[in-house]
Amino acid sequence: MALATRIADKAAVLGTLVSAMGCASCFPALASLGAAIGLGFLTRWEGFFVTTLIPIFALLALAANAVGWLGHRQAHRAVFGLIGPVLVLSAVIVMRASGHRTGWLLYPGLVSMIAVSIWDLLSAPRKACAMPAREATSGH
C-alpha cells in the first residue's frame, strides 16, 4: 500500500504540473516553462486541463496523502502533504467561479506538492510507533 500511495502522489504531482504548463492564459509563468521544454503543443487543450485534469490530479494527490497518513500516522507529514493539493483545488475552484487568475493559490500549491514529493523521496515515511496494549496496561 505504501508503494502505491507514493507512486500515486508522484503521478499526481507530475500530472498537475504538466497540465498547468499547458495553460498559457491562466498560468503564464508555468506555460512559458512548458513551452521552453517542448510542451507548447498542449495549449490547444488548455480548457480541458483547467476544468478536468488539474482537479483530477490534485484529488489523486489529496487521496494519496490521506491514505499515506492512515499508514504512517505522522501528522506533520499529512498536513504538509495535504496543503498543496488543497491549494491547487482551491485555485481551480476560484478560477471556475470568478474567471480570475489564481496564480497566488496555484503556484504555492504546486511548489508545496513538489517539495513534499521530494521530501518523500529523500526520507520515506515510517509508521509512528504505538505502544502495544499489554505494555500500556502493565505500567512498564
Sign of CA dihedral 22, 64, 68, 82: positive
Which residues neighbour 68 within 8 Å (Cβ) at sequence distance 6 or greater?
Answer: 2, 5, 6, 9, 77, 78, 81, 125
Residue 134 within a domain: no
Owning domain of residue 80: 2-124
pTM: 0.66
If one compares 73 and 96, the residue with the highest pLDDT of the two is 96
Residue 44 within a domain: yes
Residue 138 within a domain: no
Residue 74 within a domain: yes
Give the model's pLDDT for residue 120.
Answer: 73
Which residues neighbour 76 within 8 Å (Cβ) at sequence distance 6 or greater?
Answer: none
Reported as a pLDDT band with limits 50, 70 and 90, residue 127 is low
Tell me the C-alpha distance between 135 and 83, whole Å: 36
**Count of domains for the chain:** 1
